[in-house]
Structure 1
Amino acid sequence: MHTIVVTGGHHNSALVVAQELVRRGHKVVWIGHKQSSRGDAHDSAEYLEVTSAQIPFYNLNAGKLILNLSELIRFPVGLSQALSLLRQIKPHAVLSFGGYLGGTVAIAGKLLGIPIYLHEQTVTAGRANKLIARLAQVVYLTYPDSAKHLSAKHIEVVGLPLRSSILTSKSKTLFSRKRPTLLVMGGKQGAHVLNQFIFAHLSDLLTYFNIVHQTGTNSKTQDYERACALQNTLASLADCYLPRGYIGESEIGSYLHSTQLYLGRSGAHICYELGVLGLTSILVPLMSTHDAEQLKNARILESARLALILPQSRLTLPQFTSAVTQLKQLKGTKLPLPIDATNILVNHLLKQLG
């Protein structure tokens, strides 16, 4: 039996891999964020789902290696904490899924002589993953093109580990009213800009769609609370609007299979899942990500005629309506993406560990 620390910024695919390792009899310990963002009093989706899976969870207050005084102060504190945790856990390997927290744990692991492994989810690579790749024994990629962004000893292209409900769920009736279903998601933390758009135009949008709206559960914006309050004002249309704070791993598949249109951010996981399912979408990339990562994710679906990209600056009701009309003219198809990345990655990792 091996003890493996799983860590990093993309918890959805990381959790799938962690659960498979546990299923095969190995011990997994998770190092992550208990809160989604600083100042948010609510527990993160990452913390809730990992602890629900009965995987030991350690919170790490990591800092980013950027030219920001408060972050630079946090970094050595986070590194010291990571070193202490790894000395306590004594893992055989660290499996990182990227991000600055994953970078901190990877550096600590390297200093302690622990083998590092990395999975890169996106078509490009962030600053942290470029660093982790230099430290890693093996870098597992979702897309072959990512290799040109990384300096790594050993690269394996495996695809993206998919949440099981994506592959096993069936379509179900979410609403009694006969309208197409619009699924609105801004990533696991929600997206305040997208939420505001829905709030401002909810009555108009409900004329054409039933709406499932994942708002996130940020305690500062309180968008979920506002969505619930708005639902209570909709009278006969209240049953056509379903606000959710967060849609968990066990449910996401059935919602995606039961939806006709997705509106939201274009993170690595959702874009891969939309491509696998062939679901049409209007994508609003978060442009503050490193190297326009979300825009590049979105372009994969756009080139397959599965999506239209709507910049955040143009997120208005007329522009959205126009995008819906244009999407009806497109005939996209499912992307031929690997769906067995979990087993491929775990098999290779365990072979490496011996």
Structure 2
Amino acid sequence: MTEARHIILASGGTGGHIFPARALGEELLARGYVVTLMTDMRGEKYEELFPGVRVLRVASGSPSIRGLLGKVKAAGALLGGFVQSRRLLRRLKPSAVVSFGGYPSMPPAAAAANLGIPLLLHEQNAVLGRVNRLLANRARFIATSFENTESGDGKRIAKMIHTGNPVRRAILALAGKGYSAPRDEGPLNLLILGGSQGATILSDVVPGALAALPESLRARLQVTQQCRPEDLERVAALYRESAIAATLASFFDNVPELLANCHLAITRSGASTLAELGVAGRPALLVPFKHAMDDHQRKNAEEAVSAGAARLVLQEDFTVEEASRQIADLLSHPDHLAAMAAAMASLGETHAAKKLADLLECTIAADTEIKKTGKAAA
């Protein structure tokens, strides 16, 4: 695997990092590139999401772990991952490395910079992440999902190019299909997603909130909800008690289909979730994860809220009573849902993977020209 057209994707192991990496991988494969994903040990479960892409696992750790011993072990793991990544990159000889953030992306990204391999960063959130901040000075460019991404540093801002957040092709197929508002007496399709790892707060609050809805709304509900595995049984029991039709799972592999049929999404506000809602054009009630680094989930949501595409309820305010009030108001006004859907669609970026791939190719071409002539490409 030493082809000249070989790209390494470096990514953290959670969906917010993996999904845009997957979308770029799809675009690069379509352009004839050989693509390798480097991530941590969680990468094994994502192999089926990356057909045609080799997945290599490298050592990693998070210094955010509490306690001195945990931080020392994490630092040692990152150093080991750097050495391992440097050895792999020297053998693979890629044209470039694209890093999507998260600590597992740090060893291969730092190794690329150390070896002089062109490095691009992609930031999914409205605030530049910790790993991307650490790597920014060594990167050629920082591709951003939001037009205004907070970084706290003018030099980093100068490297930023807005591409949007890539979404998988199955989601792109929903773009421009429009939104069908719920009809009188027709079903009300709710989609509740908690990100790649689920969200217990949604399992704790949403079933009771829906049970408290007026009978005229409750009887029409068709609920699809993602739950953590440990929450599935108790949430199912709550829906049975309130006679609400519900389909529950810890992971859904048919999210495009679910979005296509969705009248209202109740979700976290991770960057990939918002990107997919934008492309599909679906109204949302957003509940940001309050412990997200730099409060980035709340900041992610603010663009959608300011555009009229979503409502925002902070996690500490997301009670059964408040959730029920918000949901009842939204479901009782289908015209408002339709307006929110149109606003969300206006935020959707359908060409993000193409823009990121184009930026990557321009970077590789410039690097090739420098190596040939010693001068930057015009």
Q: TM-score range by the shorter chain?
A: 0.7 to 0.9
Partner of 1:146, secondary structure, is coil
User: TM-score by structure 2 length?
Assistant: 0.78
CA distance in 2, matches of 1:147, 1:309: 20
How many equivalent pairs are there? 332
1:159 maps to 164
1:194 aligns with one of 202, 218, 221? 202
Q: Sequence identity of aligned pairs in percent?
A: 27
Could you tell which deviates more after superposition, 83-92 or 200-209? 200-209
- Cα deviation, 1:209-239, whole Å, max 9, x if unaligned, reads 210112245xxxx234555x639x839957x
CA distance in 2, matches of 1:211, 1:160: 28
**How much does 1:97 deviate?**
0.7
Cα pair 2:280 2:348 within 8 Å, conserved = no
Cα pair 1:33 1:59 within 8 Å, conserved = yes
**How much does 1:32 deviate?**
1.8
Cα pair 2:128 2:151 within 8 Å, conserved = no
1:91 maps to 94
CA distance in 1, matches of 2:190, 2:355: 34
Cα pair 2:264 2:282 within 8 Å, conserved = yes
2:246 maps to 241
**How much does 1:33 deviate?**
3.7
- Cα deviation, 1:232-263, whole Å, max 9, x if unaligned, reads x839957x211122223xx3222112101111
1:62 maps to 60
**How much does 1:95 deviate?**
0.6
Q: Which amino acid aligns with 2:139?
A: A
* 2:32 is the counterpart of 1:25: yes
Q: Which runs of 5 or more structure 2 residues have no equivalent in the other structure?
A: 366-378
Cα pair 1:283 1:307 within 8 Å, conserved = yes
**How much does 1:83 deviate?**
2.6
Change (3 A) 1:23 1:226: farther
**How much does 1:278 deviate?**
3.3
CA distance in 2, matches of 1:201, 1:148: 38
**How much does 1:200 deviate?**
5.0
Q: Which has the larger radius of gyration?
A: 2
Change (3 A) 1:225 1:113: farther
1:100 maps to 103
Change (3 A) 1:149 1:273: farther
Change (3 A) 1:29 1:79: farther
Which runs of structure 2 are paired with 1:165-314 in the superposition (5 Å)? 165-169=170-174, 178-198=186-206, 203-204=211-212, 207-217=219-229, 222-224=230-232, 226-227=234-235, 230=237, 234=240, 237=243, 240-248=245-253, 251-314=254-317
1:129 maps to 132
Q: Which amino acid aligns with 1:157?
A: H
CA distance in 2, matches of 1:159, 1:201: 34
Cα pair 1:32 1:58 within 8 Å, conserved = yes
User: TM-score by structure 1 length?
Assistant: 0.83
CA distance in 1, matches of 2:137, 2:293: 18
* 2:358 is the counterpart of 1:351: no
Cα pair 1:30 1:56 within 8 Å, conserved = yes
